């Protein structure tokens, strides 16, 4: 009898192994099938959030270029920007529109008064349907690559328009629109989200969404499909140099005695001003309560609270603001001292604005007149003089007809012991590099316009020494002054009618004077910054 051989066992092991591998593969496939949509959704969410961050980064880049190229007196170069084709020309308002931002800026000489008084050059414009706004042809940045924090391939397209409201041709606004596009993983086209989600998030999976094509000027986006885009638009309002009655980059010290006061009026409104637009007097019912004062001085880290405006009981008919300095845990206002003659509800500590230097325009200018009397040119082309040294007397000849304009650039001191007469038919703009001293009437009284918008003074100190502005006597001063490096010292009897911006401001003694802000100055003067007036995200299909 043959012995039975043992039955082989290795075949069963292979079967069990294969079954185990098949089960594990099934589990892995099932897990991958369930997790892949979630991974894809997580990537889509990351790209969605990154697109907004990128769009806001494009807005920031445009805002920075506005600061560099659209503030002060000289036209900017706008490096990297390109000009879109001009739209069909449409009638512009009487004031004209800003010239094309690229290559269409006004010449230096004629542009001085244009930039100060709100005028502009005529350019090809179009009136947006359904609105009362003239718009210049936009400029744009094309396919700018960004370094995304998530590593997602990202680029932006930015467009910028200069706007002019038909109702106010002196206003200069800007519209900035930025589209950011971020890449999606290739599988997104196969595993699309719900239709509603895709529309809201503006996914472009197999084709670029038609609504996005208008926001992609120049070359088409280099981000491959599928991708995701977000569009942000802001409306930017310019900040002018004479928007406040009193503004300093440092401390403000008001008088501890007398009846010194700060208030406002409007020389363009007969209901808010005296005959001819003059200041109606502190006791008049026409006087307004918009004499705002502010200081941009920042507090030291070791002393976050404390006064930067020493009001000393001065009556301020307007708001008062500082850049910090107030402890919100207390009822008192630590940022301003001596506030018992002020409205507590109009005291703030959130003022944040930079007082930037404004260098004079460059160019070839006329020497001082031999006879001592400065002539004027038309407002569109003022006569510009350069005085290499001090100037002690200023005589301006009024034009035979119409309104004339003159620009005087003074390298030394402006030291006036006699009245400075600005005829009603003259607009004078002074640039001063030295110290300024007023001892008598300035653009006030018989023979003068008595309007601050007829005398604009810009102090432009050089080197490391600050300038000084000193005003004394009892005669009014009707002027708008801007000096980021000027220490202003005013006698308490002086009435400053207009606007005053300086490094510091101090009243030397008590008196019955004050600062009486002319509200018509708010839209005049050069642009020194910008603020966002509107922010939206375009989610239209």
**Dihedral pair phi/psi, residue 343, rounded to 5°:** -80, 115
Q: Tokens standing for 315?
A: 């009556």
> Which H helix or E strand runs over 74?
none
Q: 46: cis peptide before it, omega within 30°?
A: no
Q: Domain for residue 123, yes or no?
A: yes
pLDDT at 131 over 80: no
Confidence label for 373 from pLDDT (cuts 50, 70 and 90): very high
pLDDT at 288 over 70: yes
Cα dihedral angle (432, 434, 437, 442), rounded to 10 degrees? -10
Same domain membership, residue 354 and residue 230: no
8 A C-beta contact, residue 395 and residue 420? no
Same domain membership, residue 220 and residue 283: no
Residue with tokens 């409205």: 343
Same domain membership, residue 517 and residue 379: yes
Helix (H, G, I), strand (E, B) or coil at 210: helix
> Which H helix or E strand runs over 17?
helix 10-69
CA–CA separation, 172 vs 239, rounded Å? 10
Q: By percentage, how much of the chain surpasses pLDDT 90?
A: 50
pLDDT at 392 over 90: yes
**What does the pLDDT read at residue 184?**
83
CA–CA separation, 100 vs 83, rounded Å? 9
pLDDT single digits (tens) 526-540: 889 999 999 999 887
Its sign, for the CA torsion 438, 444, 449, 454, is positive
**What does the pLDDT read at residue 353?**
92
**What one-character DSSP code corresponds to residue 350?**
B
**Higher-pLDDT residue of 461, 298:** 298
**What does the pLDDT read at residue 251?**
94
How many other CB atoms sit within 10 Å of the CB of residue 95? 20
Helix (H, G, I), strand (E, B) or coil at 314: coil
How many other CB atoms sit within 10 Å of the CB of residue 331? 7
Q: Domain for residue 12, yes or no?
A: no
Confidence label for 2 from pLDDT (cuts 50, 70 and 90): low
8 A C-beta contact, residue 134 and residue 163? yes
**Higher-pLDDT residue of 433, 379:** 433
**pLDDT average, residue stretch 297-304:** 82
Same domain membership, residue 442 and residue 323: yes
Q: Domain for residue 28, yes or no?
A: no
pLDDT at 446 over 70: yes
CA–CA separation, 328 vs 326, rounded Å? 6
CA–CA separation, 380 vs 112, rounded Å? 9
Confidence label for 106 from pLDDT (cuts 50, 70 and 90): very low
Confidence label for 24 from pLDDT (cuts 50, 70 and 90): confident
Confidence label for 134 from pLDDT (cuts 50, 70 and 90): confident
pLDDT at 96 over 60: no
Confidence label for 92 from pLDDT (cuts 50, 70 and 90): very low
Tell me the pTM.
0.83
**What does the pLDDT read at residue 34?**
55
**Dihedral pair phi/psi, residue 55, rounded to 5°:** -60, -40
Q: Domain for residue 107, yes or no?
A: yes
Distance of CA 202 to the CA centre of its chain: 31
pLDDT single digits (tens) 396-441: 999 999 999 999 999 999 999 899 999 999 999 999 999 999 999 9
8 A C-beta contact, residue 309 and residue 335? yes
**pLDDT average, residue stretch 333-345:** 93
Same domain membership, residue 453 and residue 410: yes
| Residue 530 neighbours by CB under 8 Å, 6+ apart | 63, 66, 67, 70, 174, 236, 237, 238, 239
**pLDDT average, residue stretch 446-459:** 95
pLDDT at 41 over 70: no
Longest CA span, the chain: 148
| Residue 92 neighbours by CB under 8 Å, 6+ apart | 122, 125, 134, 164
How far the first Cα of the chain sits from its last, in Å, is 90
pLDDT at 349 over 90: yes
**What does the pLDDT read at residue 159?**
94
**pLDDT average, residue stretch 378-382:** 86
CA–CA separation, 411 vs 341, rounded Å? 41
Same domain membership, residue 337 and residue 259: yes
Q: Domain for residue 122, yes or no?
A: yes
Among 17-26, 118-127, 290-299, 471-480, the minimum mean pLDDT is found in: 118-127
Its sign, for the CA torsion 337, 340, 342, 345, is positive
**pLDDT average, residue stretch 72-97:** 62
pLDDT at 311 over 90: yes
**Dihedral pair phi/psi, residue 320, rounded to 5°:** -130, 130
For the chain, the 3-state helix, strand and coil shares in percent, each to the nearest 5, are 20, 35, 50
Same domain membership, residue 284 and residue 234: no
Say how many domains are in the chain.
2
Same domain membership, residue 62 and residue 188: yes
Same domain membership, residue 199 and residue 308: no
Q: Domain for residue 162, yes or no?
A: yes
Same domain membership, residue 519 and residue 534: no
Residue with tokens 């009014």: 476
Residue with tokens 């404004």: 358
**What does the pLDDT read at residue 11?**
62
**What does the pLDDT read at residue 121?**
35
Same domain membership, residue 193 and residue 253: no
CA–CA separation, 201 vs 541, rounded Å? 9
- Tell me the pairing of strands 467-471 and 455-459: unpaired
Same domain membership, residue 515 and residue 397: yes
E runs forming strands in 149-303:
154-165, 173-183, 203-204, 227-240, 246-248, 252-253, 261-265, 293-298
**pLDDT average, residue stretch 347-362:** 90
Range of the domain at 427: 246-524
């Amino acid at each position: 009898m043959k012995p039975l051989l043992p039955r082989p066992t290795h075949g069963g092991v292979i079967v069990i192994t294969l079954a185990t591998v098949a089960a594990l593969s099934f589990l892995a496939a099932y897990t991958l099938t369930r997790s892949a949509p979630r991974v894809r959704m997580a990537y889509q969410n990351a790209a969605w959030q990154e697109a907004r961050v990128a769009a806001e980064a494009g807005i920031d880049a445009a805002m920075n270029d506005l600061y560099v190229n659209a503030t002060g007196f000289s036209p900017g170069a706008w490096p990297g920007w390109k000009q879109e084709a001009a739209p069909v020309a449409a009638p512009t308002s009487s004031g004209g529109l800003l010239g094309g931002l690229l290559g269409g800026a006004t010449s230096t000489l004629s542009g001085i008064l244009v930039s100060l008084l709100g005028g502009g050059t005529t350019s090809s414009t179009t009136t947006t349907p359904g609105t009362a706004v003239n718009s210049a042809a936009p400029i744009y940045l094309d396919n700018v690559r960004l370094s995304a924090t998530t590593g997602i391939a990202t680029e932006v397209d930015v467009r910028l328009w200069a706007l002019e409201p038909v109702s106010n041709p002196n206003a200069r606004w800007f519209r900035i629109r930025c589209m950011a596009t971020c890449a999606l993983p290739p599988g997104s086209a196969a595993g699309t989200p719900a239709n509603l989600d895709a529309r809201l998030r503006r996914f472009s999976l197999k084709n670029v969404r038609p609504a996005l094509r208008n926001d992609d000027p120049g070359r088409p986006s280099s981000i491959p499909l599928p991708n995701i885009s977000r569009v942000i638009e802001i409306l930017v309002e310019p900040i002018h140099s004479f928007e406040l009655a009193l503004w300093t980059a440092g401390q403000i010290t008001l008088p501890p005695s007398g009846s010194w006061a700060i208030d406002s009026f409007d020389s363009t409104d007969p209901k808010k001003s005296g005959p001819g637009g003059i200041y109606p007097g502190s006791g008049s019912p026409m006087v307004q309560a918009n004499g705002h004062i502010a200081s941009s001085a920042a507090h030291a880290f070791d002393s976050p609270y404390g006064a930067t405006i020493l009001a000393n009981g001065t009556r301020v008919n307007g708001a008062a603001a500082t850049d910090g300095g107030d402890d919100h845990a207390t009822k008192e206002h630590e940022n301003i001292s001596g506030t018992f003659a002020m409205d507590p509800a109009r005291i703030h500590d959130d003022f944040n604005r930079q007082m930037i230097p404004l260098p004079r325009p460059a160019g070839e200018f006329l020497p001082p007149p031999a006879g001592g009397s400065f002539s004027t040119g038309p407002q569109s082309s003022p006569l510009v003089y350069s005085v290499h040294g001090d100037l002690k007397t200023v005589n301006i000849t009024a034009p035979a007809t119409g309104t004339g304009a003159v620009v005087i650039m003074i390298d030394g001191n402006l030291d006036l012991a006699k009245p400075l007469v600005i005829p009603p038919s003259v607009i004078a703009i002074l640039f001063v590099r030295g110290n300024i001293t007023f001892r008598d009437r300035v653009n006030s009284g018989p023979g003068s316009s008595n309007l601050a918008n007829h005398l604009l003074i810009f102090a432009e100190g050089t080197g490391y020494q600050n300038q000084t502005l000193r005003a004394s006597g009892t005669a009014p001063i009707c002027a708008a002054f801007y000096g980021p490096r000027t220490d202003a010292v005013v006698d308490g009897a002086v009435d400053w009618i207009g606007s005053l911006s300086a490094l510091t401001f101090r009243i030397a003694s008590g008196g019955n004077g004050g600062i009486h802000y002319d509200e018509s100055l708010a839209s005049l003067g050069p642009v020194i910054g910008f603020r966002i007036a509107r922010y939206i995200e375009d989610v239209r299909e």
